[in-house]
Copies of this chain bind each other. A is one copy, B any other.
Amino acid sequence: MNIPESLIKRIKESDQRITRQKETILSVLVSYKDHMLSAQEIMAKIPKSDSIDFATVYRNLKGFLDIGIVEQRVDPKGVSFFKLACDTKGGHHHHHFICLSCGKVQPIPCDIDYIQSISKEHGFEENYHTLEIFGKCKECLNKK
């Protein structure tokens, strides 16, 4: 799976360098771009021939988070999951629909007016927010 030029560009634009390890991690993320993977899962999907240290995986994921090309979620057990940031036009803020059956994550456009109106209604000043919907995606519903 080849890595989009845009990602390479984003990395070079920051102070980060392109290394074999970063390319390996990115190619895993690109292959599973619709799914959240833990560091463990990413490691498991790296061919033994390209073996990378856990510390390097974590360090690079953090670097990717910093420049916004990767998104993170934390499950109730405190384990982090990562995926390539959804490329909605312009990298805009969006919400997530997560399929409980296949694990696919799909971006949903954000209705900011709605969020701000309920905030105002309660006297809040909204800075940021998250909305995640869990359930079954179109494909999994059809499979039944």
Convert A26-45 into 0s and 1s, putting 1 for each residue whose CB lies closer than 8 angstroms to a CB of B.
00000000000000000000
A78-B79, A80-B78, A118-B108 known; A124+B100 contact, CB < 8 A: no
Q: Please indicate the chain B residues that have their CB under 8 angstroms from the CB of A141 in the complex.
A: 123, 125
Q: Please indicate the chain B residues that have their CB under 8 angstroms from the CB of A79 in the complex.
A: 78
- CB pair A130–B129 under 8 Å, yes or no, is no
| Oligomeric state, in copies | 2
Does any Cβ of B come within 8 Å of A76's Cβ?
yes
A 71-92 contacts with B by CB, 8 A: 72, 74-76, 78-80
Does any Cβ of B come within 8 Å of A23's Cβ?
no
Q: Is the interface of A mostly helix, strand, loop or mixed?
A: strand
Q: What's the least CB distance linking A122 to chain B, in Å?
A: 6
12 contacts between A and B (CB under 8 A): A72-B76, A78-B80, A108-B118, A118-B133, A119-B135, A123-B141, A124-B135, A124-B138, A127-B136, A129-B134, A130-B130, A131-B131
Q: A residues near B, CB below 8 A?
A: 72, 74-76, 78-80, 97, 99-100, 106, 108, 111, 114-115, 118-119, 122-138, 141
Q: What's the least CB distance linking A142 to chain B, in Å?
A: 9
Additional 17 contacts, C-beta under 8 A, given A106-B122, A108-B118, A124-B135: A72-B76, A74-B78, A78-B80, A97-B119, A97-B122, A122-B138, A123-B137, A123-B141, A125-B135, A125-B136, A126-B133, A127-B136, A128-B134, A128-B135, A129-B132, A130-B132, A131-B131
